């Protein structure tokens, strides 16, 4: 376990440029091919599907990000890693991180195989899902894992180099650490946007034009494309959950173990090389704060773009079937991609302006980072204007994007106010330590709870503004597009905000490395300054992660409804085949869904599919629904014929007239509110309320499980450290070498064991609730999980941050300083805060997104079987309810 | 301050029998009168409004409860209060409790005057509320205060008598304490049901028949009666909030102050008379656990009955206007009242079987209490059958009541499992103390969080069963009636469950009295046994209070929608006058409300009011809504005429045909889902989602405020106790007398100051959200507050209970016993748990009910002005949204 991985890791990134070039070539070749086939071959129904030139800004942006990531990676690697001792410590940490991540990917791979198999059954067996979804799920997970690995690799390579850089000067240290962070940030956005671009290009151009032309296939509609792509996000979600939960448990188990036995029992300082858990502690920073945070935001980034695309297409869907509508649809689909591409350019520019003078203090360091973020955010504003202009979108969307950007800034500032010891709340919390641990805990809990008000109100305001501006409260679909584009706007600068986040643990590790290798005081002072800055950026980064997760989850909630709509179409299309021959009838598919027959000769298959209408009983008024050409004795419009539910309508010939006369609404014409009513998505449906309760419950159970897991893993770590102190001779004198790897292995095991159950819970819950309580129940679950999860996540992150900084404030010499009674009380607060802010709280970000994602992916299953199960149990929502 | 209140309190209860007799006489006299006037005088429109004979079981039940309360009170007062020293201590506690309650009622009175004035403005100025509502609000508050006072008085009289009884034997002690508790329980249910019965009789018979007949008034419809009565509940809610929040802050400030300085700093035992905060601590038990709990459950009790009555009438409302329907309506209104009356009889029988053998241990004591509760619950089952049979209701309601009863039992058992040291979770928590305070806190938080699953799932199951059985998921109104009747069933045995709750603090105080007066060990052993039992009943009582609050709040949520419906009718009726003369028109009232004109000659005023229809645009489909006889260029069915929104319909003459053709639904015929759609009560409306966020936020802010208030008040108490120890000579030797009253005054001030802001917040929030975000926002707020509040309340109560009992478990000698390091860690947990379980947690019960109540009362205001404000701000929900 002592081998230096430097010798055998061939630099994974070495392959990255080739991969990028290959992908780019693939895109170009297929572009050429598509033009060819469009011009010459005259395929069966192959109509050219042109893309506006500006679309190329999306893949270009992703290539720019990856190229810059490669450039920064190279520039970091060119730095010296310092003395042999420094290299050896860094290698141990790197080795530990690789050991952990290998194990995590192994567990994740098994789960991925199982889920992909399930998705394959759904796609090919039950026909409730598109055939490409299982593949998309795997690519999403793979790319998320890849970007996490690249970030982790860079971070672990950078820590010793940052320490070495700090020997030269502060600016050098900052540059190395920040550029390593930028590798992470740019890799995440680059790979994310590349994945989306490649998939879109494949589905729209190659599958939908080249192949469709050559093989006479049915090209996918834009709606189908976005909906399939949205499902890919689940791969990223699942990977993110493992990274966040596993990483969170690992890092805190190691931290608590190292602190309790090392600092408290043995009385040796933090990051002392004699402490066997030290390396695990440093590994934890990397796997939790780098890989975990990266996977979290990779998912937010991809999901917000995908949701916006899907909602953009859906917003135009209801109106008319014209070429102009099709163009608008495509524009609204592409706008989020292009905005993300321009956001990358803004981020890259932002990264370049981050530098500082040699005599920099905390304030100027912070100003340097803020300058970069501010520049990037400011550049996104004109970029938005450009996108709106180029795609001819309503200008009100500009307001939505600004609302998203502002929301992110406000949440960040509020987080700083409530958790930084420069401000009143944390100082007040430090005062509470004077009366003991009990009051510190109560004070921290109260501070965390009250601190939720600004984030909740600003997300609320952003939501209303982003919805109201484009939709004006009369076009719901357009309003939802506004919310999703606000999330894209907020996340467009992720390249640089994530860079500042990832910078934190790198600086922290650099400090650890300097400490463990006994660097001279001025070096350690510099690394301390870098580290302190990292703590502040970590807090605001957490706020950003939570805020963006909330907006993304909101967009996913809306996208989920789109998936339910598509699920209904799929069923209606399937039923069309069954009912052929019964021309004057509308066939009940059971459980409130009806298919209308269209003569097969009259139209192409595509048109038949579109004409096949799933009927929704819209007004639910008994008088209206019995006004049918039906035998006497019919109740509520549905009666039995040959033992099957059948609903008579006037003959198909009557067409539009019949539709006017009857209040039924076809799924294709149904508005959002028709769906809400059909599925009983209101608090008057107990299934919806039970769903909300369930979402809330899941948040609490999830927190409890992760907190307990940290406790258990930390307990085993404590035993191991104690054992090593006891059994390894000369360990305290520095002559015996502690077994770092064993501690890493213990934290790894603890994390792997504990992460599976909560992860499965958040995947199983939406499916289970959906099958049991139908669409109403699932949407309730998402509402409860989203609102409860957001509030609890903010509460936990801020309480944890405030405790942490109150302790540091006392350590600076206030209230008696280190080892005083108030300090002991504050340490209790910090111990409680650790799993709050680094395990349970951040994991909730993923929980709320993953639940929505799972609902999106399993929508077809839920639409098909939910009503059936509900009917068996006699708790199915009656769409004709009065 | 040392005077013995015994000398001057004339026994408030002395007046009670006379009051009861007066009320009974009043009812009988008016009954006779009504029969006279019905038979002879032939008033203008006075049609006799007969009540079925079985209705009298409701007032009879209330009289029985009050008579038995009086009987038990007398039997308690006949007991000796013991030695002069015991009497003096008891008098000090009583004096302190009176001083506190006087102050609380003063503050409450001021708030009541302000709110009543506001309600009067709403009723007489804005015409958005019935004229009797302000009066009803005051009576509700007054009777709640009265029952709290009676309970408090009895409890403070009983503590010394229980201690004295324990001198004779355990059975005697149990009997005294339990009977005193029964006074509280029976007074609450007796006064509650009496208030409801008297108001109903007045509105239905005297106002609606005698006065209407004599003065030619319009009698109130059953719908109006229930809706006005429902508003009375707000008085009880407001009173309960002050009692719970104020009492909760008082009791914990005193407790923490007494413990920290007395036990920890001065090293004197608990309940030592040398500790100046001891009396305040004992006072706190009475004002928090007796008066606070009583007011809480008084409110649940009344609100559940009132909500069930209102929903019962509403359930029949939509169907037809026949004599049979009117009878069903009356039956469904009366059923909850009569069920409550029979429940009282069951409770009284239950109280009588509570007695135990002399050699009783904890287990047999518990069995004695359980026997009483079980008997009462078992008796409610046949009583329900009787009520259903007598009122000819659907038998499926039987299942709803049983679901409610079972839900209460399961929550109680789950609470016991998670908080009693006899079971695994609390023992595991005690183990956590071995690794320090940090792990105890994390463990307790995790235990509290995970413990929410059984209560959430059982409330969810009860909700679905209670809804699904009578309504079968196709009749929403009937289903909601089922949920509300389940709440009534759960609370019908409140007479005895509250008796066991109130027993706890009485036994606790008896133990304090015995300790302070240095009784011999065997007496203190007996009071300790009684006290230990009280701790267990307190835990299950808390579970019961939370569970019943959740079901009641659910019923109130549904009732709230009824109030919105009535609000629309009121507006339509007002608009009727304005539009007279425009016969072929439907007049827009603006903001999606429309009134249809009916010829004044064609019908009586009553009929005209009924025929005046507020139109709701049901399906929201653009094609449907423009299919009007309207000028060209109309968008979305509404166009301007003389600067006003006007919607044309086909002439009135077309009548029913027009209604069939057009998908608009009149408010009178509109189903629940029409309302939900009209107001956009779905997660696709951002106003609803913001409401849910807001409800959640309110829960967290409310908790933070109350926890901080406890901290502040405890801080002042600590200073005061330290000051007395310092300045009063001979206090530690027992020669100088501590100033108990000063500590009581400090706790009182702290409680009064701190309770006003959170209380006002929970009143202002629903009104503010309603005016800003309309009905959708308010219902979101209620959903968020209800679900979040319930989960957080269970979490806090169980975490607090588990910490408390883990500490006691260690004090029994485990893990090193008292004064060991684990014990110190457990004490930190207990300190955090105190405000959790006794202040913030229980206050949430009221928060969730009060918010619903406020929404009920202010529904008229919100319906009228909400859309106007929303329109100004351009965030008003568009009822034609697509």
Find the CB nearest A700 among B439, B452, B468. Answer: B452
The answer to whether A26 contacts chain B (CB < 8 Å) is no
CA distance B327 to chain A (A): 21
pLDDT at A677: 77
pLDDT at B190: 96
Residue B705 with chain A: CB contacts under 8 Å: 450
**In 3D, which of B617, B468, B475 has the Cα closest to residue A618?**
B617
Q: Is A220 helix (H, G, I), strand (E, B) or coil?
A: coil
Residue B690 with chain A: CB contacts under 8 Å: 460, 463-464
CB A292 within 8 A of CB A243: yes
Residue B665: strand pairing partners = B616
- Name the burial class of residue A194, with classes exposed (0-12), middle (13-18) and buried (19+) by CB atoms within 10 angstroms of its CB: buried
**In 3D, which of B341, B421, B426 has the Cα closest to residue B386?**
B341
Reported as a single tens digit per residue, the pLDDT across B14-51 is: 555 556 656 665 665 555 554 444 433 333 444 567 88
State the helix-helix crossing angle for A740-811 and A453-471, rounded to 10 degrees.
100
**In 3D, which of B690, B627, B684 has the Cα closest to residue B660?**
B627
pLDDT at A262: 77
Query: Of all helices (H) and strands (E), which one includes residue A130?
Result: none
Q: Is B731 helix (H, G, I), strand (E, B) or coil?
A: coil
Summary mean pLDDT of chain B: 81
The answer to whether A22 contacts chain B (CB < 8 Å) is no
Q: Is B635 helix (H, G, I), strand (E, B) or coil?
A: strand
Reported as a single tens digit per residue, the pLDDT across A138-192 is: 999 999 999 999 999 999 999 999 999 988 888 888 889 999 999 999 999 999 9
pLDDT at A833: 92
- Pairwise CA distance, residues B467 & B464, whole Å: 5
CA distance B476 to chain A (A): 6
- What separation in angstroms does the CA of B330 have from each of A140, B204, B221, B326, B793? 61, 10, 10, 6, 36
**Mean pLDDT, residues B147-175 taken together:** 90
Q: Is A645 helix (H, G, I), strand (E, B) or coil?
A: strand
Of residues B154 and B646, more confidence is placed in: B154
pLDDT at A336: 96
- 8 Å CB contact of A791 and B693: yes
pLDDT band at B591 (very low <50, low <70, confident <90, very high): low
pLDDT at A139: 93
* Cβ partners under 8 Å of residue A165, min gap 6: A79, A172, A173, A175, A176, A177
The tokens for A820 are 């005083």
pTM: 0.89
- Pairwise CA distance, residues B366 & B539, whole Å: 13
CB A687 within 8 A of CB A877: yes
Q: Could you give the percent of chain B with pLDDT greater than 90? A: 37
Reported as a single tens digit per residue, the pLDDT across B572-590 is: 655 544 444 444 445 555 5
The neighbour count for residue A605, using CB atoms within 10 Å, is: 11
pLDDT < 70 positions in chain A? 1-48, 317-322, 358-362, 569-671, 879-882
- What separation in angstroms does the CA of B846 have from each of A221, A370, B298, B553, B706? 53, 45, 11, 9, 13
The answer to whether B665 contacts chain A (CB < 8 Å) is yes
Residue B784 with chain A: CB contacts under 8 Å: 787
**Mean pLDDT, residues B158-162 taken together:** 92
Question: Using the 8-state DSSP alphabet, how is residue B662 labeled?
Answer: S
**Mean pLDDT, residues B245-255 taken together:** 89
First CA to last CA distance, chain A: 69
* Predicted confidence (pLDDT) at residue B618 exceeds the cutoff of 50: no
pLDDT at A25: 57
The answer to whether B158 contacts chain A (CB < 8 Å) is no
Q: Is A114 helix (H, G, I), strand (E, B) or coil?
A: helix
CB A738 within 8 A of CB A731: yes
Residue among B673, B780, B835 with most chain A CBs within 10 A, to mutate:
B673
CB A453 within 8 A of CB B697: yes
Longest dimension (CA), chain B: 96
pLDDT band at B465 (very low <50, low <70, confident <90, very high): very high
Q: Could you give the percent of chain B with pLDDT greater than 70? A: 81
Find the CB nearest B683 among A472, A715, A779. Answer: A779
- 8 Å CB contact of B624 and A783: no
- Pairwise CA distance, residues B805 & B826, whole Å: 9
Q: Which of A564-568, A770-774, B407-411, B616-620 has the lowest mean pLDDT?
A: B616-620
Q: Count of alpha carbons within 13 Å of B281, Cβ hemisphere only? A: 28
Q: Is B632 helix (H, G, I), strand (E, B) or coil?
A: coil
pLDDT at B113: 93
* φ, ψ (nearest 5 deg) of residue A82: 85, -160
Of residues B730 and B443, more confidence is placed in: B443
- Pairwise CA distance, residues B327 & B316, whole Å: 10
CA distance B179 to chain A (A): 37
Q: Which of A270-284, B94-108, B240-254 has the lowest mean pLDDT?
A: A270-284
* Predicted confidence (pLDDT) at residue B426 exceeds the cutoff of 70: yes
Q: Which of A229-243, A294-308, B467-481, B555-569 has the lowest mean pLDDT?
A: B555-569
| Alpha helices, DSSP H, located in B202-261 | 212-215, 222-257
Q: Which residue of B has its CA nearest to A318?
A: B882
- Pairwise CA distance, residues A370 & A355, whole Å: 11
- Find residues 556-585 of chain A whose CB sits inside 8 Å of chain B: 557-558, 561
- Find residues 466-505 of chain B whose CB sits inside 8 Å of chain A: 467-468, 472-477, 479-480, 483
- Pairwise CA distance, residues B175 & B115, whole Å: 42
ipTM: 0.89
Q: What is the dihedral of CA A39, A42, A43, A44, to 10 degrees?
A: 140
The neighbour count for residue B30, using CB atoms within 10 Å, is: 16
**In 3D, which of A332, A272, A708 has the Cα closest to residue B432?**
A708
Reported as a single tens digit per residue, the pLDDT across B184-219 is: 999 999 999 999 999 999 998 888 777 777 777 777
Edge-first strand listing for the sheet containing B639-641? B593-596, B585-590, B644-648, B639-641
- Pairwise CA distance, residues B825 & B829, whole Å: 7
Question: Using the 8-state DSSP alphabet, how is residue A728 labeled?
Answer: S
CA distance B307 to chain A (A): 15
- Pairwise CA distance, residues B352 & B366, whole Å: 15
CB A422 within 8 A of CB A812: no
pLDDT at B615: 46
- 8 Å CB contact of B447 and A686: no
| Alpha helices, DSSP H, located in B663-739 | 672-678, 686-727
CB A858 within 8 A of CB A773: no
Q: Count of alpha carbons within 13 Å of A439, Cβ hemisphere only? A: 26
pLDDT at B383: 94
CB B133 within 8 A of CB B857: yes
What is the SS3 assignment for B138-180? Answer: HHHHHHHHHHHHHHHHHHHHHHHHHHHHHHHCHHHHHHHHHHH
pLDDT at A668: 55
Residue among A437, A615, A833 with most chain B CBs within 10 A, to mutate:
A437
- Antiparallel, parallel or unpaired: β B644-648 and B585-590: antiparallel
- What separation in angstroms does the CA of A295 have from each of A11, A187, A840, B413, B673? 20, 11, 16, 42, 41
* φ, ψ (nearest 5 deg) of residue A209: -130, -60
Of residues B627 and A287, more confidence is placed in: A287
**In 3D, which of B381, B385, B377 has the Cα closest to residue B410?**
B377
- Pairwise CA distance, residues A183 & A149, whole Å: 11
Residue B614: strand pairing partners = B595
pLDDT at B16: 58
State the helix-helix crossing angle for B84-120 and B133-168, rounded to 10 degrees.
170
Query: Of all helices (H) and strands (E), which one includes residue A595?
Result: strand A593-596
DSSP string computed for A650-716 = S-GGGHHHHHHHS-EEETTT--HHHHHHHTT-STTSHHHHHHHHHHHHHHHHHHHHHHHHHHHHHHH
The owner of tokens 């089922």 is B482
The tokens for B63 are 């009289």
- Find residues 518-547 of chain A whose CB sits inside 8 Å of chain B: none
- Name the burial class of residue B120, with classes exposed (0-12), middle (13-18) and buried (19+) by CB atoms within 10 angstroms of its CB: middle
Find the CB nearest B683 among A432, A618, A681. Answer: A681
């Amino acid at each position: 376990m002592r081998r230096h991985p430097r010798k055998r890791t061939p630099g994974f990134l070495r392959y990255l440029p080739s991969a990028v070039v290959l992908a780019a070539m693939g895109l170009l070749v297929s572009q050429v091919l598509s033009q060819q086939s469009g011009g010459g071959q005259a395929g069966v129904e192959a109509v050219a599907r042109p893309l506006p030139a500006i679309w190329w800004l999306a893949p270009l942006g992703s290539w720019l990000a990856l190229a810059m990531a490669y450039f920064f990676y190279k520039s970091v690697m060119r730095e010296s890693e310092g003395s042999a001792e420094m290299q050896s410590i860094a290698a141990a940490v790197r080795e530990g991180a690789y050991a952990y991540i290998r194990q995590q990917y192994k567990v994740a791979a098994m789960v991925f195989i199982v889920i992909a198999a399930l998705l394959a059954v759904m796609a090919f067996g039950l026909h409730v899902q598109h055939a490409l979804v299982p593949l998309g799920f795997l690519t999403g997970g793979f790319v998320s894992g890849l970007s996490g690995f690249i970030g982790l690799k860079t971070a672990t390579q950078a820590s010793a180099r940052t320490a070495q850089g700090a020997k030269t000067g502060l600016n050098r240290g900052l540059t190395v650490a920040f550029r390593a962070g930028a590798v992470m940030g740019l890799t995440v956005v680059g790979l994310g946007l590349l994945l989306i671009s490649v998939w879109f290009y494949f589905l729209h151009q190659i599958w939908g034009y080249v192949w469709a032309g050559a093989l006479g296939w049915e090209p996918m509609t834009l709606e189908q494309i976005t909906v399939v792509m949205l499902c890919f996000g689940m791969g990223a979600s699942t990977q993110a959950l493992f990274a966040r939960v596993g990483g969170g448990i690992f890092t805190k188990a190691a931290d608590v173990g190292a602190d309790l036995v090392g600092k408290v029992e043995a009385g040796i300082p933090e990051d002392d090389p004699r402490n066997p858990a030290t390396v695990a502690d440093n590994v934890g920073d990397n796997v939790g704060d780098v890989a975990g945070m990266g996977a979290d935001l990779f998912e937010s980034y991809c999901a917000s773009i995908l949701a916006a695309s899907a909602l953009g297409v859906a917003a135009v869907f209801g109106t008319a079937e014209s070429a102009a509508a099709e163009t608008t649809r495509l524009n609204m689909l592409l706008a989020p991609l292009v905005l993300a591409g321009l956001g990358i350019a803004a981020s890259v520019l932002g990264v370049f302006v981050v530098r500082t003078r040699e005599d920099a203090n905390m304030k100027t360091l912070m100003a340097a980072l803020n300058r970069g973020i501010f520049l990037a955010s400011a550049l996104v504003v004109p970029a938005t204007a450009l996108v709106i202009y180029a795609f001819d979108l309503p200008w009100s969307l500009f307001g939505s994007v600004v609302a998203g950007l502002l929301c992110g800034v406000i949440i960040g500032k509020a987080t700083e106010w409530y958790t930084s010891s420069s401000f009143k709340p944390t100082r007040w919390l430090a005062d509470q330590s004077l009366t003991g641990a009990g009051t510190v805990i109560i004070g921290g809990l109260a501070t965390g709870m009250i601190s939720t008000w600004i984030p909740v109100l600003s997300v609320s305001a952003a939501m209303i503004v982003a919805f109201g501006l484009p939709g004006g409260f009369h076009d719901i679909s357009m309003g939802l597009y506004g919310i999703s584009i606000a999330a894209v706007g907020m996340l467009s600068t992720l390249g640089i905000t994530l860079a500042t986040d990832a910078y934190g643990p790198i600086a922290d590790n650099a400090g650890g490395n300097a400490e463990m290798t006994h660097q001279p005081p001025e070096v350690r002072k510099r690394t301390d300054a870098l580290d302190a800055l990292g703590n502040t950026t970590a807090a605001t980064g957490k706020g950003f992660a939570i805020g963006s997760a909330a907006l993304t989850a909101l967009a996913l909630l809306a996208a989920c409804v789109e998936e339910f709509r598509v699920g209904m179409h799929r069923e209606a299309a399937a039923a069309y085949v069954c009912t052929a021959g019964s021309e004057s009838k509308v066939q009940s598919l059971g459980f409130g869904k009806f298919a209308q027959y269209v003569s097969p000769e009259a139209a192409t298959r595509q048109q038949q599919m579109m004409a096949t209408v799933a009927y929704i009983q819209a007004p639910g008024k008994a008088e209206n629904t019995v006004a049918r050409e039906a035998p006497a004795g019919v109740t509520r419009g549905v009666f039995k014929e040959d033992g099957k539910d059948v609903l008579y309508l006037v003959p198909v010939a009557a067409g539009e007239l019949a539709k006017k006369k009857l209040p039924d609404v076809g799924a294709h014409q149904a508005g959002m509110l028709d769906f809400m009513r059909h599925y009983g998505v209101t608090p008057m449906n107990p299934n919806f309320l039970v769903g909300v309760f369930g979402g809330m419950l899941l948040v609490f159970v999830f927190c409890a499980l992760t907190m307990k897991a940290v406790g258990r893993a930390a307990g085993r770590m404590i035993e191991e450290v104690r054992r090593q102190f006891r059994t390894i001779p000369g360990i305290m004198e520095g002559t015996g070498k502690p077994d770092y790897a064993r501690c890493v292995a213990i934290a790894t095991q603890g994390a792997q064991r504990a992460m599976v159950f909560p992860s499965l819970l958040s995947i199983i819950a939406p499916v289970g609730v959906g099958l049991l309580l139908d669409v109403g129940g699932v949407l309730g679950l998402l509402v409860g999980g989203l609102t409860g999860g957001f509030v609890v996540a903010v509460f936990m992150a801020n309480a944890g941050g405030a405790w942490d900084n109150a302790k540091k404030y006392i350590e600076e010499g206030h209230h008696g300083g280190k080892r005083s009674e108030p300090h002991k009380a504050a340490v209790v607060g910090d111990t409680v805060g650790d799993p709050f802010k680094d395990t349970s709280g951040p994991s909730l970000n993923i929980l709320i997104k993953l639940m929505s994602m799972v609902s999106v992916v399993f929508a077809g299953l839920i639409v098909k079987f939910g009503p059936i199960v509900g009917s068996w149990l006699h708790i199915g929502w009656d769409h004709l309810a009065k």
